[in-house]
Structure 1
């Protein structure tokens, strides 16, 4: 499970940077926006991030109809949900590492 969280954290941050760059471009590549949003949705789905999934789904839908305004609005929703979820996962990850470290010291 910790590997899944670790992958989500690194891949998700990359996808979020990609989305920011893609949506700030003069000409939006909606195919790439859809792809990046799918990655975030998939990661959120694998870890139970329902709100991340809902926000990413809205961005995917806006991207599929190539509505830049809706993409920007949905992207803001994705940003809020992703970073909130990411912070909770980081806390969980740190707690798990501390427990594992404590157990290994106790045993050895």
Structure 2
């Protein structure tokens, strides 16, 4: 997350990235900061209900593209299996071995 630096010797805006540890600490200690993420936080439980058909279709298309671009399996030789079209709600679909 880009944040203004503590002090910058250069002209114009300059941003630094807030790391996860700092974000986590601030999120749990600063109510005003955490309130920025209230809407997103409210949406997260609904997103974890399982895998969607659309997500599976995107993953399948990406595997097909990798197969096309690296047909000799030189760059990505391991585990190009596709997730099943649908998974059980709340758990990832089983991976083919």
User: Do these two structures clear the TM 0.5 threshold for a shared fold by scoring above it?
Assistant: no
Q: Which has the higher helix share?
A: 1
> Normalized against structure 2, the TM-score is what?
0.32
Q: Which has the higher strand share?
A: 2
Q: Which structure has the larger Rg? A: 2
> Normalized against structure 1, the TM-score is what?
0.29
